Chains A and B, each alone.
Chain A
Amino acid sequence: DAGVTQSPTHLIKTRGQQVTLRCSPKSGHDTVSWYQQALGQGPQFIFQYYEEEERQRGNFPDRFSGHQFPNYSSELNVNALLLGDSALYLCASSFVSRDTGELFFGEGSRLTVL
């Protein structure tokens, strides 16, 4: 049973560029959440997707956008990259029927902005 998979694992971009990160949820899960984890900090909630709609959003600017596909996989897009966007981006999946905070995380995509 495959867990949450994310790609790419590492990437380097320059300021002003755009990036797309991808996530496949754990088999059977229907909800995908994205978190940003800066070095030495805990994860911070970006947004959650269910039924291809953004269900909840954290305190992140509109430069951060997402999408969920019919097969439940998801993408995170960040436009006009800033140096401060350098972080580990974590995808987590869950069942919408179990809104308990019990999340399954992927290994993350490490983004470096130069």
Chain B
Amino acid sequence: GQQLNQSPQSMFIQEGEDVSMNCTSSSIFNTWLWYKQDPGEGPVLLIALYKAGELTSNGRLTAQFGITRKDSFLNISASIPSDVGIYFCAGPTSGSARQLTFGSGTQLTVLP
């Protein structure tokens, strides 16, 4: 089945630093979604991307839909303590947005 590979698995950064993480697939996706999960909570949608090459921002977050449709990137600028959490990429399984495939996540820790 479809798989999404996220890297890195975990990151430790200093407050104020910029962060970059990515997600790749062997299959083409027509939508890329980035979710964040805080401890004890459900995932929250951060950014949705619908067109190859699209670059979308949400505050300090910027995500890009790769031209090949097989990858996506998420950047966080000037990290703050509340950025701590697990970031998941996700995409429609076999083209159907009724069912999402999630990556295994990138665990972000922000050090003061």
| Contact surface of A with B, Cβ cutoff 8 Å | 4, 33, 40-45, 48, 55-56, 58-59, 90, 92, 99-108
Contact = CB atoms under 8 A, between A and B. Distances in A.
Main SS of chain A's interface residues?
loop
A102 B45 contact: yes
A99 B98 contact: yes
Interface residues of B, number: 27
A90 B50 CA distance: 25
B45 A103 contact: yes
Given A99-B97, A100-B48, 13 more contacts: A4-B42, A40-B104, A42-B4, A42-B88, A45-B101, A56-B98, A58-B93, A58-B99, A100-B50, A101-B48, A101-B97, A102-B33, A102-B48
B43 A105 contact: yes
Interface of B: 1, 4, 31, 33, 40-45, 48, 50, 88, 90-93, 96-105
B34 to A, nearest CB: 11
Nearest to A46: B99
Contacts of A90: 42-43
B46 to A, nearest CB: 11
27 contacts: A4-B42, A41-B104, A41-B105, A42-B4, A42-B88, A42-B104, A42-B105, A43-B88, A56-B96, A56-B99, A58-B93, A58-B99, A90-B43, A99-B96, A100-B31, A100-B48, A100-B50, A101-B31, A101-B97, A102-B33, A103-B43, A103-B100, A105-B43, A105-B44, A106-B42, A107-B42, A108-B42
A45 B91 CA distance: 12
Given A42-B88, A42-B102, A42-B105, A101 B33 contact: yes
A107 B7 CA distance: 25
A45 B100 contact: yes
Contacts of A42: 4, 88, 90, 102-105
Interface centre among A40, A43, A106 (most CB of B within 10 A): A43
Interface centre among B4, B48, B50, B98 (most CB of A within 10 A): B98
